[in-house]
Structures are given as C-alpha cells and as structure tokens.
Structure 1
Amino acid sequence: MEATEAAAVVLSSSLQTDAVLVPETAETVAAMATGASAKAAAAAAAAVVAAGAAGAAGAGSEAVGSKAALATKLLSLSGVFAVHKPKGPTSAELLNRLKEKLLAEAGMPSPEWTKRKKQTLKIGHGGTLDSAARGVLVIGIGRGTKMLTSMLSGSKRYIATGELGKATDTLDSTGKVTEEKPYDKITQEDIESILQKFTGNIMQVPPLYSALKKDGQRLSTLMKRGATVEAKPARPVTVYSLSLQNFQPPFFTLDVECGGGFYIRSLVSDIGKELSSCASVLELTRTRQGPFTLEEHALPEDKWTIDAIAQSLEHCSALFPAELALKKSKPKESNEQALSCEYITFNETKGENDIIKTV
C-alpha cells in the first residue's frame, strides 16, 4: 500500500510536467512494486519522473535555443533580394508584412534579445510598385538598405494591359471613370504606328496619383484627402523599347522597357489621347527591376523565411560587383527610386521592443 500511495503522489506531479509520461511511469512503478520495497519503488518512480521532466526542460531549451539562433541569423542578414508583390497591398504594406513574418519566425522581440541593449534590424524597399500592380519588388536588408538606390539605377521592364475608351482619375482600374470615348475605329496598325513617338528620350507628365511629393506629402495622399493638387511639370524620361504584344479591342498589351522615373499609367493615358480616344491601365506587371527578374529572383510569400532569404541573398550577390556593397548612397528626393526603410531597434533600456523609424 505504501508503494501504491507513493506512486500516486509522483504521478500526480508528473501530470503537470509531461502527461505523455504517465502510462509508462505507472507500468514501471507497478512492476517495481511487486519485486522491491516500497521505498525502492518510490525512489525509482521519482527518478523516472525526474528524467521525464529533464527531457521536457531540455526540449524547451532546444526550442529557445532554436529561436535564438534564428534571431541571430536574421540580424546578420545583409544584402539585396527580391520578392513577388501581388496585387492589392502597397509596397509599404508588403514590406511590413515581410518584416512581421521574419520577426515572428525568429520569436522577436523576446526576453533573450531585450537583454542586449542594441539590436537593430534594417529593412527597406526600393522602387515603389503601385498597389494595383504585381511583380518584382526589390528589398534591402541590413547594409543592403544603403545599396538600393545605386543598384536600382538600371532599367525596368513591364507588361501592361490598357483599356481603350475609358479614362480614370488614377489612370488605372482602381480610380473613378472621368471620361469615355469611342474606340471602335482604332486598329492594331494605328497603335503600332504611334509607339515610336513614345520611344527614346521623351517628356512625360507624372500622374497626380503618385509617390511624388508636395510639401513633404505624397500627391496620392493629398488627392485622397480631396486637396487641390496641380500636376507636376513634364520631365525627361527614357523608354528603351516599346512594343504591342496583343490587341483585342478595347484591350491592348504592351511590353515596355524604361528607365527610372517613368510611369506606365501616364504612357497608356497618353497613347489613348494620341489615338483621339482615352485609355487607362487594366493590368500591370513588373517583370524586371534592375538585374532582378520575376521568374528567377522574386520570392513568393510562402518563401519569406529566414533561411530562404539567406539563400536568395547569396544567389543575388553574384548580380553585382563586390565593391558596390561598400558604397553608401543616399536616396534621392521623391523620384523613381521611392525608398522606404524601417529600422527596428530592440532596446531594453527604453522599455520598447519595436521602435520603428522610417526614412
């Protein structure tokens, strides 16, 4: 009876530590009770439970250690990679989503990391992509945030589908229709014949709904507030190649390679006007940004993990000369390289675990 009572007490404790160990412990205690003294059985049962508790504690320590290792790896990431932006979120919203997934995977912020006075994760994107557009969005992490402007000075490539006969205030399908005109007499030859006018070094008026700023605020933000906004003056831009890929009235698809500061929405709108009609963007995909291509380099959201990004950084490092990583470039004022960076600092002394500064 003493052995049974002792076992009952031990098993009751083990339920709080590791419920899986209860059946095995009961069998072990029962077997030992038949051939040993109550004192020996109780000691053996206690040893089994202690071993189980140690195993559970060890597993917990391994889990904590694994998170700490991931946090260390995350904070050590440095370079430039690309992600696949879907339609819907803005580039800034997508950056926040990426940041949150990485911090969650690493278990940050946590007591382990708040013990360290300064641990900073720097992450940003270069080259804003419209919320209605999808495609390549280049991300800088660590020292890579200082490389974005220099690395994205090359050309970009887009596949754009325009809709004839309909103009909107945003110049794309997300806006309000402001004008409708006939398009039934427009032919494929008509479109192809005017594309040369939009190729090479040309002047372009940026759309009112854009990331360009007035008095420190984005024009798109001012427009949404109902403020009166004047169009920016026409500015020089470069179109390296422009071709018509498909024409099924009222829709036409363009393949465009352009330099920085170029707006596809303005191009489609201007083409509509040139055809004595009007037009707006229905679909827009950025297939290349600098040396980053949608097919080869852009990580889909299910690949937004610390390990996958580490591999992508290594893969993408071969795209640029090594000395580029040593350059420190300042983002230009609101232009084609709309640059957004976030600095997340884990600082125990201030009592804040997620201090964000946007530059």
Structure 2
Amino acid sequence: MPKKEPIHGLFAVNKPSGKAIKQVLQHINHTFRLHAERTRPEMTRRQVVSLGTCFTQAKYWNSGVCVIGVNQGCRYLKSQEKMNERYHATGILGFSTSTKDIGGEVVDTASSSHITRQQILSILPAFQGKIYQEEFKIPETQPIVKPPFIKDFALLSKRQKKKIINQKYRTPPTTPTTPRVEIQSPKTIYSVKLLEFTRVHKYKPPILINTLKPTDAFNCDFDHSQTSETSEISERDMLNTLKFPDEPTPISLSLNNLINLLGKSDNHPIFKIDVECSSDAPIGRLIDDIGHKLGSVAFLTELERVKQGDFELYKDTLEWEELERFDNIYNALNDWIRKVRNKELELG
C-alpha cells in the first residue's frame, strides 16, 4: 500500500461556550484517528496528527473563532496570533469582579439605573485608539542547596568515609532577591461600536447573601438567580439548617457564589459592543473602564470572537457537528492553502 502524504495547514472552528480548548483538540484528534483506522489499518495507537491552536482569550466560557493548526501548519499560528481580532463583548452594569469577567469574585457594586443608551454612545468614541500596557513582576527564588545522596556508605573505603565526614557543605551567601519586571507589548483598541443596550436580558446577575435563607441553599426548586427583599431569619429556619439529611442533597448554587453574593438583581442593564483590537487585548478591562466612565461598574459576562486574522465567524469556520467528518476538515484545509497561494500570486 503506498504511503499517504500527511496533511498540513490551518482551519478555524466555531468553539461553543462551555468547551475548553483541550476538548476541542481531543474531538478533532478523534476524527483524524477514525479516518486513519479506516484508510490505514496498520496504524498503531500513537498520535495520528499533531495539533495546535492560538491561545488568545482561551477560556472555557468564550466562544467564536478558534484557529487550529495541523502538523506543519502549526508554525503559522504565531503569525495568526499577531493579527488583529474582532469581538462581540457583553457586559453587565452594576457589578465588578476581581478578574473583570465572569470567572472572578464580586468585589464591588454600584447603581446603574441612571444609565441610558445615549450615555453609552457618547463615551464610546473616547475608547477608540486606547492603549493598554501592563507590567508583570516575577520574583526570583533562591536555589536550594542539598548535600549529595550517598548510597551504600558502609561499602566505601576508610579514606572515602573520612573525606565525606570531614567535608563541609557550604551554602551560598543569601543575597537580596530583586523581582524581575516584564513589560507586556501594548494592546490597542481600534474601534468600539454599540450593538445592543437593554434591561430585559437572559443573563443572571449575582444575588444578595442576606436575602438568601438557609433553607434555600438545600432546596433544589429554589431559583437562585432571583432575589427577594431582605427578611429576618427565624429560629425555625436556623433549626432546619442544623438537620442535615442522611443522603447528600444537590445544591444548585456553587460555593463561590454563596460566599461572594453581593448587590441586587433588579435594574441591571447589559450592553453589547463590537470591538476591533490588536491580538489578546484585555476586553475585560475595557468593559470595566466603560462602567467607571458611566459612573457605575461593569464586568464581562460573554465574549464571542467574530474574526481572528484571516478567519471570520460563520464564513471560514466549521461548526462543532461538522468536526465529526474528516472530509469537512480536509476541505477547510484546502481552502486555506488556496487562499495562501492566491495571496502569494498577488504579491509576487
């Protein structure tokens, strides 16, 4: 049987929200493995193909364009990471988190009932051309000096034993550690446009911890996304919380939300913006700055990558169901190779 030539190149996937990058690569690798078993039965269980991806904004709750490199095509991923990107970002007003996005803990709340659509439209031009740059301090640790491990000390000669016993292990003098500072390359926001502003939405903001009754934490039918007015906890409710059931009762609210529940859930509008920026720009910081500019606070709750480099969402991407067929991936790789050759002909 003639040896088949391996395929190389880039293609893009519409990564759904809730899927990690590792799950996407495993799903693609499984498709390649099934194709190799059908076409080449003598293939062993080793890795069939080498895969890589761009790690810009690679979080499980993000969605949108995810560029995948196959075999030798992985070397082109660095050039894709340096290209400009376009996002659809959604922020909730009234809350601020430690990480400026949905993955952090609530640290601050503010009123957002006074914000209107015209106010957001008036401040967005101020963020066009904004540059973000951060400094990271990496502390230097002292090396730990340990004496060498001696095996079978009794089998050594008297001279060797005497030399080891009289040997003094000297540790290097302690010097003051100076942290190393790394400056991140500047990230530029090229354009910001408002797509939507509404007070009726599907996103559920955090709730007040003083409005949550102790019995509601163990009630599966309780809607933890909605809050009620502050009510005093009666002695009967306190006694009920002490009576734990024999079998573990599922709790529909995570422990982090139980500990960090702040703010109210009424009159917290959302705004959706279209952002064109450089690679790996801090969209969470942009949403936070917009909230402060409006006299309130905000955090990023949804992020969808619409375009990354040469790949555009719904135009050059494969859906999650299409990744199960090898022909779809093969055609997408050929389309990318055809585009690269056409660019070379235009430049050459």
* Range class of TM-score, shorter chain: 0.5 to 0.7
- How many residue pairs get aligned? The number is 233
What's the counterpart of residue 225 of structure 1?
none
What's the counterpart of residue 149 of structure 1?
78
Post-superposition Cα deviations, 1:141-183, rounded to whole Å, max 9, x if no partner, equal 0110011111342211111111000112232223322211111
Q: Distance in 2 between matches of 1:80 and 1:234?
A: 27
What's the counterpart of residue 297 of structure 1?
316
Q: Distance in 2 between matches of 1:236 and 1:78?
A: 32
What's the counterpart of residue 313 of structure 1?
333
What's the counterpart of residue 86 of structure 1?
16
Post-superposition Cα deviations, 1:46-92, rounded to whole Å, max 9, x if no partner, equal xxxxxxxxxxxxxxxxxxx9xxx9xx76x712100001101112223
Structure 1 segment 1-359 matched on structure 2, within 5 A: 76-107=6-37, 112-114=42-44, 121-128=49-56, 129-205=58-134, 236-249=186-199, 250-304=269-323, 305-321=325-341
Using a 3 Å threshold, how does the CA distance of structure 1 residues 247 and 147 change in structure 2: closer, same or farther?
A: same
Using a 3 Å threshold, how does the CA distance of structure 1 residues 178 and 158 change in structure 2: closer, same or farther?
A: same
Aligned-residue RMSD, C-alpha? 3.3
Shift of 1:267: 1.0
Question: Would the aligned equivalents of 1:113 and 1:119 in 2 still touch at CA under 8 Å?
Answer: no
**Code of the aligned partner of 1:289:** Q
**Code of the aligned partner of 1:243:** K
**Code of the aligned partner of 1:292:** F
Q: Distance in 1 between matches of 2:115 and 2:190?
A: 25
Post-superposition Cα deviations, 1:209-261, rounded to whole Å, max 9, x if no partner, equal xxx9968xxxxxxxxxxxxxxx9877521122111111114100101111113
**Code of the aligned partner of 2:186:** P
Shift of 1:120: 5.9
Question: Would the aligned equivalents of 1:85 and 1:134 in 2 still touch at CA under 8 Å?
Answer: yes
Question: Would the aligned equivalents of 2:97 and 2:106 in 1 still touch at CA under 8 Å?
Answer: yes
Q: Distance in 1 between matches of 2:277 and 2:330?
A: 30
Question: Would the aligned equivalents of 1:265 and 1:281 in 2 still touch at CA under 8 Å?
Answer: yes
**Code of the aligned partner of 1:123:** L
Shift of 1:111: 7.1
More displaced stretch, 77-86 vs 238-247: 238-247
Q: Distance in 2 between matches of 1:263 and 1:114?
A: 43
Gaps of 5+ in 1: 1-64, 207-211, 216-230, 325-359
**Code of the aligned partner of 1:132:** W
Shift of 1:321: 4.7
Question: Would the aligned equivalents of 2:36 and 2:48 in 1 still touch at CA under 8 Å?
Answer: no
Question: Would the aligned equivalents of 2:80 and 2:308 in 1 still touch at CA under 8 Å?
Answer: no
**Code of the aligned partner of 1:107:** E
Q: Distance in 2 between matches of 1:168 and 1:309?
A: 39
Q: Hey, which of these two has a bigger chunk of strand by percent?
A: 1
Gaps of 5+ in 2: 140-180, 200-268
Question: Would the aligned equivalents of 1:204 and 1:266 in 2 still touch at CA under 8 Å?
Answer: no
Which structure exhibits the higher relative contact order, with contacts defined as CA atoms closer than 8 Å and separated by 6 or more residues?
2
Taking structure 1 as the reference length, the TM-score comes to 0.57
Taking structure 2 as the reference length, the TM-score comes to 0.59
